[in-house]
């Protein structure tokens, strides 16, 4: 995993949160995700990466933050089980992916359309031999999480 592959995602995330949602986000200490994949997130957007490196970038939210984000986007308060939430999160992750794409052009990486999973304790199937780096983010309205699992393919 190359830090240069991850940075665009971090920048995109911070940028989109600031510009689109008006939320300042702060990233905390990164760490390695352990073997057990239990987590406390309710909804995740999964972005597939292919090309010189292969793997997955996942942005996960609590239901509350997801609802908060949706509220900002639709202009009125929504509950965390509102169907709009999935769309809003999907939209957000989509834009983050799109912004990240620009920073990845020189690396011959391509990004898939994000897919969204919901449900507490949803499972994300990570590739077994790829270490996963987790980066927690904090905003005024709650925390969210960026996980990156990219394998080193042939670097040019």
Task: List interacting residues with another protein (CB under 8 A).
Answer: 1-3, 6-7, 27-32, 34, 51-52, 105-106, 108, 110, 113, 129, 131-136, 154, 156
Q: Cβ distance 99 to 15 under 8 Å?
A: yes
Instruction: Say how far apart CA 92 and CA 6 lie, in whole Å.
Output: 18
Question: Least Å distance between CB 14 and another protein?
Answer: 11
User: Measured over all CA atoms, what is the biggest interatomic distance in the chain, rounded to whole angstroms?
Assistant: 48
- Considering the complex, state which of residue 119 and residue 131 has its C-beta at the smaller distance from another protein: 131
Residues in the chain, total: 156
- Considering the complex, state which of residue 28 and residue 79 has its C-beta at the smaller distance from another protein: 28
Question: Least Å distance between CB 65 and another protein?
Answer: 16
Question: Least Å distance between CB 34 and another protein?
Answer: 6
Q: Cβ distance 138 to 42 under 8 Å?
A: no
């Amino acid at each position: 995993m190359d830090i240069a592959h991850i940075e665009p995602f971090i920048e995109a995330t911070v940028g989109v949160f600031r510009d689109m949602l008006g939320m300042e986000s702060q990233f905390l200490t990164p760490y390695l995700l352990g073997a057990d994949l239990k987590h406390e997130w309710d909804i995740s957007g999964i972005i597939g990466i292919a090309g010189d490196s292969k793997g997955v970038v996942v942005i996960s939210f609590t239901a509350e933050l997801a609802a908060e984000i949706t509220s900002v986007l639709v202009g009125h308060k929504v509950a965390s089980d509102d169907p709009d939430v999935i769309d809003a999160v999907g939209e957000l992750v989509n834009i983050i992916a799109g912004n990240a794409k620009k920073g990845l052009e020189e690396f011959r990486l391509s990004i898939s359309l994000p897919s969204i999973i919901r449900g507490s304790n949803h499972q994300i199937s990570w590739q077994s031999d790829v270490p996963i780096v987790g980066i927690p983010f904090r905003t005024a309205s709650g925390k969210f999480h960026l996980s990156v699992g990219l394998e080193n393919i042939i670097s040019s």
